[in-house]
Structure 1
Amino acid sequence: MSGAPLTYEKMNGRSIRINRVPATITAVLLTIVLVYLLNFHQEERPALYGMLRSDNKVNLRKMLIAAVQAAQRGGFEVRDVAHTRELKERSKGKTDEGANDPFTDADARSHCVMKQGLKRFFPRVQIFSEEDKEHCKDAHIFDLDPTVLHETAEVPDVSVSARDVTVWVDPLDATQEFTEELYEYVTTMVCVAVAGRPVIGVIHSPFSGQTAWAWQGNSMSEYLKGLRVQPHSDTDHPVITVSRSHTASAKEVARSAFGDNVSLLTAAGAGYKVLQVVANNATAYLHTSKIKKWDICAGDAILQALGGTMTTLSGEAINYGPNDSPVNTEGLLATLEKHDEYIDKLSKHRSEKTAKSRRR
């Protein structure tokens, strides 16, 4: 009879009635839940794991857009401080060459907007900035705006592992010149390295408003395309750009290695000097002392995108991975072509210098 009791049990002297219909319904419901859970684990779980795995990926197209925006927003902060002339200048100490290493409110504000902006979009990526010791409070944030790239830019959706990506930020290159109002040398820079190789480089000139960017193997800014000209092919009459703040050693090396026909172009800022090579105002950029990687990574990426080369003075590629030192201690040479010929002359110069010192 339907609804008749199935069994009786005694608990604590009381009777508990178990009906057949509720028991059947419960069994059916439990079966449905079990089937759902099994199907979820077989079908939904891989998709869920895929979503989690995608969180560990970085889209390089978005990273390029964010890098360009970060450099431009940092440049806005630099200009704003320049217009107010409230630099709040102080010294970080002396460089190895004995020059003052200044720090201003423009460095701080540019650093905060650039690094915090990038970190907001890419929290899993390791980002190094020249001013990482600076404490940031409320920085101006920005949203991704693809229109910062020109319409014909070839920027595919390419994803790489976040752990392979290192970003180098220079919030204000040529701070000393900034304090002297030599604004043509000032740049803000972002570089994206993948597995230690510079892949995306952005050099923004705040006071001209021009942005040179390149993504190796894909595209570059229209400004960079227009800036690029046919490089010199005559290494017997090179034009070498060297730093105006510590030129003595570089000038001596350039004259000894490249002979009396060498011309020297003194300038400031690693980003600016790389662009002088791109524009054919210099055939090579020479630096003979140590230099930080946030100074050179963006220029390295841009040169490689144009078919050029940046190495240490011994011809070794520079690694921009997170586990290497942020300081390149081996000097650098940057060229658009015939890099090996310049390196050979530098190597010959070092050999002759070593031989002379031994004879003494």
Structure 2
Amino acid sequence: MLDILEEAAVAAGKAILDIYHAGPEVSYKPDCSPVTDADENAEKIILDRLTSAFPEIPIVAEEAVSAGHVPDISGQRFFLVDPLDGTKEFVGRNHDFTVNIALIEKGEPVAGVVYAPALGILYAATRSKAKKSVISGQRDIGPETVIGCRSRGDRLVALASRSHNSLETIAYLAEHGITDYEAVGSSLKFCLLAEGLADIYPRLSRTMEWDTAAGDAVLRAAGGETVTMDGNPLTYGKRNQIFDIDFANPHFVSRGKN
């Protein structure tokens, strides 16, 4: 399965880069978040490939959900897709945007692919292994390198959202005595933790499940964790929430090894 997820992400990434270089057409959703023709084209590529290979597994995809198309996920096994995570980075000509595809089983991300097409880097994971590969020629997946979280030292390095940072996040870092942090876009923050390049990523602003699932799968396979502010693992497939919309995440903290 992971090979097919990787191939779908790379194919979508190629389409995204074509539009990136030509100049995207930008419109705005009702929540004022941007959407481009790259989001829509990439999602169609991914949905076509996943539906063809795994017709029995429902797919929750960002743009489809935005259009009101939500599948039945009561079987507890489904895909989460964000065809272009970091649309603001994409529109702003920053390279920190990704293609995210994750498989969820019983609320847990058990496989995931995060592809950063402008960087030519692909992260992928199953339960037992997280890896990183370099993509050449926008399509060829190079040799893989197994990655893992680093053990924490005395001085923690944090990651924060470039486009969606918050005063609450800054306060969290100050409360925990963390002064060294870097702003990074999209789901790359999870992957940098998984690669052992940072220690903690607190997110005290809005995210949706498709924003986090693939990166979270890579992080967990690399030995890290993502927990809500009450210390429980972040779960996926959240419907009919009392205090929020479907598939919205609560605030969380992702981190490497203790």
Q: Same fold (TM over 0.5)?
A: yes
Change (3 A) 1:110 1:316: same
> What amino acid sits opposite 1:288 in the alignment?
L
SS at match of 1:74: helix
Write out per-residue CA displacement over residues 124-161 of structure 1, whole angstroms, 9 at most, x where no aligned residue: 211111111578xxxxxxxxxxxxxxxxxxxxxxxxxx
CA–CA distance in 2 between the matches of 1:104 and 1:209? Answer: 21
Which structure's residues are more often strand, by fraction? 2
Q: Are 1:221 and 2:131 an aligned pair?
A: yes
Q: Are 1:203 and 2:203 an aligned pair?
A: no
Change (3 A) 1:69 1:201: same
Aligned to 2:253: 333
* Residue pair 1:130, 1:170 contacting (<8 A) in 2 also: yes
Write out per-residue CA displacement over residues 34-93 of structure 1, whole angstroms, 9 at most, x where no aligned residue: xxxxxxxxxxxxxxxxxxxxxxxxxxxxx32221111111111100101211x1101124
The equivalences for 1:65-80 within 5 A come to 65-80=3-18
* Residue pair 1:200, 1:214 contacting (<8 A) in 2 also: yes
> What amino acid sits opposite 2:113 in the alignment?
V
SS at match of 1:124: coil
Give the superposition deviation at 1:282: 1.9
> What amino acid sits opposite 2:81 in the alignment?
V
Structure 1 runs, 4 residues or longer, greater than 4 Å off: none
Structure 1 unaligned spans of 5+: 1-62, 95-99, 136-161, 339-360
> What amino acid sits opposite 1:76 in the alignment?
K
The equivalences for 1:317-356 within 5 A come to 317-321=233-237, 323=239, 325-328=246-249, 330-338=250-258
With structure 1 as the length reference, what TM-score do the two structures score? 0.61
Change (3 A) 1:322 1:290: closer
SS at match of 1:291: coil
Structure 2 unaligned spans of 5+: 68-73, 135-143, 241-245
When the two chains are superposed, the root-mean-square deviation of aligned CA atoms in Å is 2.3
- Asked which structure has the greater RCO (Cα within 8 Å, sep 6+), the reply is 2
Change (3 A) 1:222 1:243: closer
Aligned to 2:213: 297
Give the superposition deviation at 1:187: 0.6
Q: Of 183, 186, 192, which aligns to 2:97? A: 186
Give the superposition deviation at 1:220: 4.0
> What amino acid sits opposite 2:119 in the alignment?
S
Write out per-residue CA displacement over residues 305-357 of structure 1, whole angstroms, 9 at most, x where no aligned residue: 111111112211122237563111x211111111xxxxxxxxxxxxxxxxxxx
SS at match of 1:286: strand
> What amino acid sits opposite 2:26 in the alignment?
E
CA–CA distance in 2 between the matches of 1:280 and 1:222? Answer: 12
SS at match of 1:204: strand
Give the superposition deviation at 1:122: 1.7
> What amino acid sits opposite 1:284 in the alignment?
I
Which structure's residues are more often helix, by fraction? 1
SS at match of 2:64: coil
Aligned to 1:89: 26
CA–CA distance in 2 between the matches of 1:278 and 1:321? Answer: 23
The equivalences for 1:32-51 within 5 A come to none
* Residue pair 2:148, 2:222 contacting (<8 A) in 1 also: no
> What amino acid sits opposite 2:255 in the alignment?
T
With structure 2 as the length reference, what TM-score do the two structures score? 0.84
SS at match of 1:211: strand
Q: Are 1:237 and 2:158 an aligned pair?
A: no
| % identical equivalent positions | 26
* Residue pair 2:80, 2:210 contacting (<8 A) in 1 also: yes
Equivalenced residue count is 237
Give the superposition deviation at 1:227: 7.1
Give the superposition deviation at 1:232: 4.5
Q: Are 1:278 and 2:172 an aligned pair?
A: no
SS at match of 1:223: strand
Give the superposition deviation at 1:209: 2.2
Moved more, 273-282 or 76-85: 273-282
Change (3 A) 1:191 1:229: closer
Give the superposition deviation at 1:230: 5.9
Give the superposition deviation at 1:109: 0.4
SS at match of 1:110: helix
